[in-house]
């Protein structure tokens, strides 16, 4: 009974979500776009970082690669938005693969450190290339796309990520991942290629983050490396995913919705205190709700005997 009710419920939710642009416009539509964007980013983040316990701070870097490639392709090479939106995630896929091969075969802490400065490093590199070889003019992303089109595209990506996550949970690789997350030593002994599993999953995270970055690019109109390679984005994604909890596929969603609404209010009321608030949010998660909202809910709910 439960198994047949679930997909139906998800479908209803999806249809309801796709109707949002018909009833909301202006401010609320832009909030809705932000919510869907962060849902996509933090759900795909949690697919990798949840089971592996590796805090990836590369979301901003891949998102930036997506946005920047769309902008430079359209402005410097006259490519169409659709070509670039298709190419950008593939480029990020390769980049993530290379980073994974270099760092994920070693102890996890190297990976975290490598991703920490990644967005900033790529931004420096891109600015240098832009200034010296492509001419330092602004990059324009001029399309016919409106806010609601961006919303629908992001919703489709989010649905794809959920489908991917759901399939992953039922696949051999998802099983391998759960063993790996519980004990890497055991995973290696039963013949799981732990490095390969981690690298492949990290590549999926890079792919989706760049795809989201590419889709959101028309929202900026004018793109500068400083804008799209935002380290803050990486941290927000981590906070939202951990706030919701990473044990369930829909966990991050429960973090994204309240946090986005809260963050909008906070950054509008105290624009100078956002950095400090970010710090407080991290500390609150570590000390007060280490397992996220879903973990908290599981603890409060009385255990059913089965």
Partner 1 sequence: MDVLISGLLLGGAYALVAMGLNLQYGVARIMNLANGEVLVLGGLAAFWGFVSFGVSPIVSLLIVGPLAFIGSWVIYAFLLRPLVKRARNRGQLEVDTILATFGMSFFLVGLMVSLQAEYFTYSFLAVPVSVLGTTVAANRLVAALLAAAIGTALYLWLNRSRAGMAVRAVAVSPQSAGLVGINVARISALAFALGGTVTALGGSLISTFVTLDASAGVIFTMKALIIVIMGGVGDIRGSIVAALILGLVETAVATVVDPGLTLVAAYAIFLAVLLFRPQGLFGRRSA
Positions in the binding site for partner 1 (CB under 8 A): 53, 55, 102-103, 106, 108-110, 112-114, 116-117, 120-121, 124-125, 127-128, 132, 231, 235, 238, 242, 272-287, 290
Kindly tell me which of 116 and 257 has the beta carbon lying closer to partner 1. 116
For the bound state, the minimum distance from the C-beta of residue 190 to partner 1, rounded and expressed in Å, comes to 18
For the bound state, the minimum distance from the C-beta of residue 168 to partner 1, rounded and expressed in Å, comes to 22
Contacts for 213 with CB less than 8 Å, ≥ 6 apart? 62, 63, 64, 65, 66, 67, 68, 70, 88, 228
For the bound state, the minimum distance from the C-beta of residue 57 to partner 1, rounded and expressed in Å, comes to 9
Kindly tell me which of 97 and 164 has the beta carbon lying closer to partner 1. 97
7 is written with which tokens? 């997909």
CB 70 within 8 A of CB 88: yes
Which residue, among 233, 237, 235, 284, has the nearest Cα to 45 in the 3D structure? 237
Task: For residues 67 and 45, give the distance between their C-alpha atoms in angstroms, rounded to a whole number.
Answer: 18
* H or E segment and range at residue 155: helix 147-169
For the bound state, the minimum distance from the C-beta of residue 106 to partner 1, rounded and expressed in Å, comes to 5
CB 77 within 8 A of CB 23: no
Kindly tell me which of 21 and 255 has the beta carbon lying closer to partner 1. 255
Tokens 């996550």 correspond to what residue?
165
Kindly tell me which of 108 and 174 has the beta carbon lying closer to partner 1. 108
For the bound state, the minimum distance from the C-beta of residue 205 to partner 1, rounded and expressed in Å, comes to 17
């Amino acid at each position: 009974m439960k198994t047949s009710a679930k997909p139906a419920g998800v479908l209803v939710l999806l249809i309801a979500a796709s109707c949002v642009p018909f009833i909301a416009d202006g401010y609320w539509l832009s909030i809705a776009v932000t919510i869907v964007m962060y849902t996509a980013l933090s759900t795909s983040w949690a697919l990798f970082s949840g089971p592996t316990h590796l805090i990836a701070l590369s979301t901003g870097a891949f998102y930036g690669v997506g946005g920047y490639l769309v902008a430079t392709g359209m402005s410097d090479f006259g490519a169409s938005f659709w070509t670039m939106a298709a190419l950008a995630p593939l480029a990020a896929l390769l980049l993530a693969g290379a980073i994974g091969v270099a760092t994920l075969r070693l102890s996890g802490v190297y990976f975290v450190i490598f991703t920490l400065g990644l967005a900033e490093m790529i931004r420096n590199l891109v600015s240098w290339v832009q200034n010296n070889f492509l001419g330092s003019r602004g990059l324009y992303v001029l399309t016919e796309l409106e806010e609601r089109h961006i919303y629908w595209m992001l919703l489709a990506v989010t649905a794809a990520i959920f489908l991917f996550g759901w399939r992953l949970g039922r696949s051999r690789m998802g099983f391998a991942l759960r063993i790996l997350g519980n004990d890497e030593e055991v995973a290696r002994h039963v013949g799981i290629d732990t490095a390969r599993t981690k690298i492949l999953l990290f590549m999926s995270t890079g792919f989706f983050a760049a795809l989201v970055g590419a889709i959101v690019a028309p929202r900026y109109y004018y793109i500068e490396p400083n804008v799209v390679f935002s380290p803050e984005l990486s941290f927000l994604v981590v906070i939202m995913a951990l706030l919701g909890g990473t044990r369930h596929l829909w966990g991050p969603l429960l973090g994204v919705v309240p946090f986005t609404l809260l963050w909008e209010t906070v950054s509008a009321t105290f624009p100078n205190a956002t950095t400090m608030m970010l710090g407080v949010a991290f500390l609150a998660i570590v000390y007060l709700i280490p397992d996220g909202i879903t973990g908290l809910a599981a603890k409060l709910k009385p255990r059913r005997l089965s």
